[in-house]
Structure formats: structure tokens, C-alpha cells
């Protein structure tokens, strides 16, 4: 018979991965975009 596991640690872990990972992806993309556009605008001057 399968052991009964407390489901909440698994639910917490899935939400933490989803939220932290998505925030990191969006933040990293934003910073990379800002850096590249600043560099381009710097070259223009």
C-alpha cells in the first residue's frame, strides 16, 4: 500500500518554483533589454 504523504509541502514547492522562477525570468529579461538598449543608445551618441 502507498504511504500517505502530506500534500502541502509539494504544493508549496510547486508554487514557489513557479512564482520565483517566473519573476526571475521576467526580471532578467527586463534587465538584459535595458542594458542592451542603453548600450545601443550610448553608441548612437
Partner 1 sequence: MHGFANPTRFLKLARPLTPWLLGAGFLLTGGALAWGFAAAPAERLQGETVRILYVHVPAAWLGMAGWTAIAGASLAEIVWRHPLAAIAGRAAAVPGAFFAALCLATGSLWGRPAWGTWWEWDGRLTSMLVLLFLYLGYIALAGATAREDGSSRIPAIFGIVGVVNVPIIHFSVLWWSSIHQPPSISTGGSAMAAEFLVPLLVATFGFTLLFAAVVLMRMRALIAETQAEARLRRRARDAG
What is the contact surface with partner 1 in residues (CB under 8 A)? 2-3, 5, 7-8, 10-11, 13-15, 17-19, 21-22, 25-26, 29-30, 32-33, 35-37, 39-40, 42-44
Minimum CB separation of residue 27 from partner 1 in Å reads 10
CA distances from 17 to 25, 29, 38, 39, 40 (A): 12, 18, 31, 32, 34
Minimum CB separation of residue 26 from partner 1 in Å reads 6
Minimum CB separation of residue 9 from partner 1 in Å reads 9
CA distances from 19 to 13, 25, 29, 40, 43 (A): 10, 10, 15, 32, 36
Amino acid at each position: 500500500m502507498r504511504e500517505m504523504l502530506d500534500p502541502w509541502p509539494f504544493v508549496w514547492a510547486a508554487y514557489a518554483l513557479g512564482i520565483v522562477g517566473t519573476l526571475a525570468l521576467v526580471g532578467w529579461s527586463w534587465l538584459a533589454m535595458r542594458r542592451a538598449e542603453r548600450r545601443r543608445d550610448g553608441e548612437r551618441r
